[in-house]
Amino acid sequence: MVDILSLPTVPELIRTAEDMYRLGWNERNSGNISCLLSQEESQHIADRSVIRTFPLGLAADGIAGRYMLITSTGSYFKNMRRCPEDCLGIVRISDDGQNAELVLGFENGGRPTSELPAHVMSHLSRLEVDKGHSVVLHCHPANIMAMTYVHELDDAKFSHTLWRMCTEGIIVFPDGVSVLPWMPCGTKGIGRATAEKMREFRIVIWAHHGIYGVGSTLDEAFGLVETVEKAAQIFMLTSHLPHINTISDANLAELAEVFDVAYRKDFIKS
């Protein structure tokens, strides 16, 4: 009998969720995480029967047959360790790509996060770019949210500002960030807009709401968001003050050369 905690990705996700809650990124029941399971991990649950089915409302042929670990709607990240069977579920994307088939978890009537369409579409987009990208996480870091109130919502300008806030910025997210205008959450509209941006960016910011980050591992996706949030924090701490010193565009180009990263050259002036 397979227990949800016996799958290696589950304890790792719980630890990540606790860190996100501790940092204030996921208040109350906000935020969500999904991970496409590896073929090796999926083998342990391949013989499980379908418990319930959730229509996706979109075609997910690109991940048909794949198993996904995902957080439930209404779950509190702070409670995940106490009741993982309620807060987490493993679904299989049906062979026709139309449904998510629950095979483990979501006990006591739980359902996948309302952002399931956004997660599925983001996974589909990122797999076209990098077959190793298996993690999508969404959270509400305060400084990123605050920055969307006082900064132009332009991909190039937003990225450029963040890069100049801390030395590691252009090294960790050389592809920059994308910023969507405010849109209602939990809809296919914002899911489609996010997925489209994911073809170019690993970070998509929802104005006045939060951030989406992707990666090959939970640590990678978490670290990506963590670095962007630190840069936004420095911006919010210093934006009202005169900048006597700064990281120049020439410095950014030098950093990219030293660390051999391919950055968005159209996002800086030189």
DSSP type of residue 7 = S
Cβ atoms of 211 and 194 closer than 8 Å: no
Residue indicated by tokens 């910011």: 205
Residue numbers annotated as active site: 115
Helix, strand or coil for residue 126?
helix
- String of DSSP letters for 145-173: HHHHHHS---HHHHHHHHHTT-TTHHHH-
State the first-to-last Cα distance of the chain, in angstroms, to the nearest integer.
Answer: 59
- 201 residue type, one letter: F
Cβ atoms of 204 and 180 closer than 8 Å: yes
Q: Where does 94-154 show beta strands of DSSP type E?
A: 99-105, 135-139
d(CA 1, CA 104): 11
- 86 residue type, one letter: D
Cβ atoms of 130 and 200 closer than 8 Å: no
